Each structure stands twice: as C-alpha cells, then as structure tokens.
Amino acid sequence: MSEKRLLAFLAAILGLVAGVLILAAAAGQGALNVIGIVLGFGILYGSYLIYRGRASWFSWGRTRTGALINLVLGLVTLFVPGGVGGILSVLAIVSGFLGLLAA
C-alpha cells in the first residue's frame, strides 16, 4: 500500500469516526439537533469521497473535494455556537488535512 493511499485510508477512518460521533452527539441532546445531523452526514460523505478517490484510478478531484468538505465542516462545527465542537471537530479537521496530503 502506498503512502498516499495509507494517508487517504487514515483520513477516511478519522472522518468516519468523527461523523458517527457527531451524529450520536446531535441525536443524544434530547431534541434532534438538525444542524449537527446535517454536518455529521456531510463529514461522512466527505470521508466517502476521500476513500473512493484514492481507491480508484484518475480521480484526484474526489479526494481533494472530500478533504475540503471535511476541513470546512470541521471548522464550522468548531466555531458555530451550539455546534458539537471539541475533539470531534478536531478529528474532522485532521481528516480533511490528511485527505489534502493524500491528494
């Protein structure tokens, strides 16, 4: 396995963990937090794009797009009031950064 594929795989796993935990945190607040659910699914989609981009041939754009999605949504969850914040946002940001390195 090449270094770039390993970085993409690690970025996808971190994004998957961050997305699932953000969804769990958004659903566990009594009432459903719609913004948290949308951001969680967005991070999961970005992780999917990172993984599929490096697993297939000639698709650098998918990896870059997925990495940017995770990076931006991680920053949004970090700075939006009432967002998830904390370590989950940092996981999404690290996933985006590793995805950019893998592109």
**Full pLDDT tens readout for the chain, 103 residues:** 577 788 888 989 999 999 998 888 888 766 677 888 888 899 999 998 888 875 555 556 667 888 888 999 988 888 876 666 788 888 889 999 988 888 7
* Alpha-carbon dihedral sign for residues 91, 52, 66, 2: positive
- pLDDT at residue 87 in the model: 84
- pLDDT at residue 13 in the model: 93
pTM score, whole prediction: 0.84
Question: What is the end-to-end Cα distance of the chain in Å, rounded?
Answer: 15
Amino acid identity, residue 95?
S
What's the number of domains the chain is made of? 1
Domain residues for the domain of 79 are: 3-102
